[in-house]
Structure 1
């Protein structure tokens, strides 16, 4: 008889252009997979027990001393507490500078109204936690390819370098609420002009 522990996996499917939220407990591993390739996943994390503490890309950049995140880095909160550690990464290209796309982004830049967007996605996905639109923090944009120019400027993103099946794995360092939006931006190369699904696995 095999007495080894059985590790059950919980799978969360995030349809292209939509968002989902779920809990991640301390010590659990979260694998975020780009199912078909070239799909950005906006990623936010909020303390389960202290809702005013959340993953801060600003503090993460400062604490790690770089503009992006890499395997082995910890992701920090607005109180400078480590919330997650990136333990695996098959892509190595992510973004910490861009906010969520929102209704005004599409209206101002493209003249389009009522376009799906990550900020509204997160507000809808987090309703069950009594977190509203005004609370949504800036995300870690997984798989987003936003090169920084030599003069410090940055423009519209290039297509992601992620291929079908590429992934990152995070280890939770505390109990968290996680939000992931399969970004609906289809008007720039951000997601390769084709919005596809993201998968999350918790073990």
Structure 2
């Protein structure tokens, strides 16, 4: 690794690396959020997206039970642990995630029909916040990638409506343009306020945005279980 003009770091040798790999490594080396995460002990720069969203919307304060959908590698849960040290946290991801003190981590597919029940049981009570940084694996076709990720957002929304306490919050990653009209309409039915935001830590060339739905309306809008229908 060497320093080029302007102090930017460059890879000393690119032998055997693809152009996209070289570009990604150089971007990581010169990303202030990556360096800050390393210095402050966060597992990923994504931690600052949650920090910045919370600074703007103030949803973490006083949280006692939190669910983290798509927890790997754990940066968002680390933020919750630091800001709400007494909170119970349950996370889920297909990928393995190293243990985090004070958090229960499930390695399974959130879209598995058993996952919502397992998460709710592990949490042990109504959630104050459901966080979702989930994104579908991309296939390189923008419309397909968007549909796959939005399906996760919609599934997360349904899950949130089943486990949140009245007044609770759902925060989810969406893609360029934000949530589509049908999902926004559903979120507005379920929550008192629905906002879109792109935190400064989200790279400018990234298509990601976040939807922040606050003030869950509770039993009046909560889906009925099969045995209640």
Name the TM-score, length of structure 1 as normaliser.
Answer: 0.28
Greater percentage in helix: 2
The higher radius of gyration belongs to: 2
Name the TM-score, length of structure 2 as normaliser.
Answer: 0.26
Q: Say which structure, 1 or 2, has more relative contact order (CA 8 Å, 6+ apart).
A: 1
Greater percentage in strand: 1
